[in-house]
Structure 1
Amino acid sequence: MDLVINWHITEACNYQCFYCFAKWQKDDQRELLHSKHEIQQLIKEISLLPSILNTKSGCSFTGVRLNLVGGETFLYKHQVLNIIEAAKKYHFKLSAITNGSLLNDELIKIIANEFSMIGFSIDSTHTESNLKIGRAIKNIPIETDKIHSHIQKLRTINPKIDIKINSVINQLNKDEDLNDFIRKLSPSKWKIFKMLPVITNDYSINDSEFYDFLERHSDLKDIISSENNDEMTHSYLMIDPLGRFFQNSSASCGYDYSSEILISGISSALDEIKFDISKFIKRSKLIPNIELSTFDPATLA
């Protein structure tokens, strides 16, 4: 099993989604991805994690999949190329999450050839909803047809690439029917998140509303991976743009941070945060998250 590490390489983004959790305490420090040397050092530290967790928790991780997240991952093409170069030295698999707005033929070719998986963040197909959510540039909302075109080009270059769709469900899109749209994109996985109120409670939904959305899309349950707030908490290994582990704070909105990995070492930094290995393994093994015929909304509490 690969150990999946989510490295949020930058807070910068060309969208302004109201619920975005990519807000870190940085005190105007320079993001690590702008130093090729620090990229190489962080990748080296990350390569130690499978062995560390195997020893501490009796796991059997055999490699790393480094998932690049933003902000918007592809705002900094040159820096992403430096990450690819460093990751190859340790035989990491690579994946990324993107809003898709900056993709062109050059980036599509890079992704198709260097990444095993690419995820697109799409919450809605409605213009008004996307504008209110903030998935827009200068009041021009995300173009879902263009995302479909990007996916087709990726598959033409690399038919084996995994395509994933990420959707965050909130008050602005909870009543939508995305069945036909998702079928058209034909992803290998559709990851549906209940909006996690890390930064704001505005437009958050309750468990019943989240369940209703899942029920409406039950015909797609074979590709759906749904996560409520409890399932997300402490179940990801996440690194922020300064090279610190971070987790959702249990005390308030915001995050708890480790010290900087390049200063303390990755083993010590890992000990400073809460990480639930059992939750991580359950999700990584792709155990079916929902059986809609017997699904109890109370289990989302």
Structure 2
Amino acid sequence: MFTTQIVFVKMLLQVCFSSLHRVLAGALEKAFGWMGISDGGGRARRVAHRSTRESHIKADESEAATPKTPTPTSVNYHFTRQCNYKCGFCFHTAKTSFVLPIEEAKRGLRLLKDAGMEKINFSGGEPFLHEKGEFLGKLVQFCKEDLQLPSVSIVSNGSMIREKWFQKYGEYLDILAISCDSFEEDTNKLIGRTQGRKSHLDNLCKVRNWCREYKVAFKINSVINTFNVDEDMREHILQLCPVRWKVFQCLVIEGENAGENALREAERFVISDQQFQDFLDRHSDIACLVPESNQKMRDSYLILDEYMRFLDCTEGRKDPSKSVLDVGVENAIQFSGFDEKMFLKRGGKYTWSKADMRLEW
């Protein structure tokens, strides 16, 4: 009898210890399992989960460390440096007379379209100077008709434009911007925005009328400098009624309009930030005014030179990439210095197709 009781007690103790072991093991697994202390399939699953989570973190960090390739949404193609004006602050001067063969230019434009380009702006120099505007007209037609770009625009001084150009190519052009820094003829002459006895202001008004007749959106670009900073342009801008009035602060670029090898000396044209702001304040009631300080302008434009190289202006000079024709857009654009965030912040993307503007011609 006594022996039977002893056996029973031993069995009871074994059951108790077994139950206690299971309870303690479960508690320890809950407490330390996520630290990798527990055993079994649960641990394997948690280790795998932690490993996956760490992989995601590393991937995110790697993505953040690798700069995103900018999209060339809007590109300014300065296909010629030659100009018939001698504006003292010009920052894209006639350092070469080179112009790409038109088929090569078209090939580069197609590469840009395939990389995401939506808007092309042709500039110079004076873009209507080369082949009396025929080269430009063919590129404008190609970009609108073949590439189907939403927006094709030109910046010109207006002096070389003829009505027959509008008759032939006007339907393919969305926006024509004419550079005009003053509505006083003598001031334009002091700046160098003139040729011989021709009136820059007469040309401006003539081109404005052609734009209306041939359904091209009309724009004005003005560079604010020491010679025009105190001028009141409100009445003239309201009369001309451009869709946009781009107002730039005079910008100095080493090697272009400043420094040893420069063809211009822009220092005497430079104004302070406060002077520029005073000009903007005086014209703040003009709805179409689009101000661009040096800070906004320097890094927020994608500029292609005559060789189709992107120009990096971040260091205050124009450092060229390799040509998109040789290395492709994605490679070349990495060396453009382009600030895509500033491009969007300054309003670089806007309603730029004349089909969407709903203008009353």
| Corresponding residue to 1:255 among 318, 332, 336 | 318
Gaps of 5+ in 2: 1-70, 258-265, 352-361
**Mean alpha-carbon deviation: is it higher for 168-177 or for 82-91?**
82-91
After the TM superposition, which residues 183-222 of structure 1 pair with which residues of structure 2 at under 5 Å, given as runs? 183-198=238-253, 199=257, 200-220=266-286, 222=287
Q: Which residue type is aligned with residue 49 of structure 1?
A: A
Say whether 1:143 aligns with 2:200. Answer: yes
Q: Which residue type is aligned with residue 4 of structure 1?
A: S
Matching residue of 1:178: 233
Report the Cα distance in structure 2 between the residues aligned to 1:177 and 1:216, rounded to whole angstroms: 7
Secondary structure of the residue that 1:284 maps to in structure 2?
coil
Say whether 1:123 aligns with 2:194. Answer: no
Say whether 1:71 aligns with 2:125. Answer: yes
Q: Which runs of 4+ in 1 moved over 3 A?
A: none
Query: Once the 2 structures are TM-superposed, how far is the Cα of residue 141 of structure 1 from its aligned partner?
Result: 5.4
Say whether 1:269 aligns with 2:325. Answer: no
Report the Cα distance in structure 1 between the residues aligned to 2:310 and 2:72, rounded to whole angstroms: 19
Contact 1:97 1:121 in 2 (8 A): yes
Report the Cα distance in structure 1 between the residues aligned to 2:323 and 2:339, rounded to whole angstroms: 20
Gaps of 5+ in 1: 51-62, 288-301
Matching residue of 1:54: none
RMSD (CA atoms): 2.1
TM superposition score normalised by structure 1? 0.82
Larger RCO: 1 or 2 (CA < 8 Å, sep 6+): 1
TM superposition score normalised by structure 2? 0.69
Contact 1:39 1:82 in 2 (8 A): no
Secondary structure of the residue that 2:213 maps to in structure 1?
helix
* Identity within the alignment, %: 29
Which structure has more strand as a fraction of its residues? 1
Report the Cα distance in structure 1 between the residues aligned to 2:160 and 2:89, rounded to whole angstroms: 21
Matching residue of 1:298: none
- Higher CA-based Rg: 2
Query: Once the 2 structures are TM-superposed, how far is the Cα of residue 153 of structure 1 from its aligned partner?
Result: 2.3
Distance 1:265 1:2, change over 3 A: closer
**Mean alpha-carbon deviation: is it higher for 188-197 or for 37-46?**
37-46
Say whether 1:239 aligns with 2:301. Answer: no
Report the Cα distance in structure 2 between the residues aligned to 1:40 and 1:203, rounded to whole angstroms: 37
After the TM superposition, which residues 86-105 of structure 1 pair with which residues of structure 2 at under 5 Å, given as runs? 86-87=142-143, 88-92=145-149, 93-105=151-163
Distance 1:212 1:235, change over 3 A: same
Secondary structure of the residue that 1:71 maps to in structure 2?
coil
Secondary structure of the residue that 1:192 maps to in structure 2?
strand
Residues 122-181 of structure 1 deviation map (CA, whole Å, 9 limit, x = unaligned): 00111221111111113x3543133213212221221xx321110000001101111111
Q: Which residue type is aligned with residue 229 of structure 1?
A: N
Report the Cα distance in structure 2 between the residues aligned to 1:152 and 1:262, rounded to whole angstroms: 38
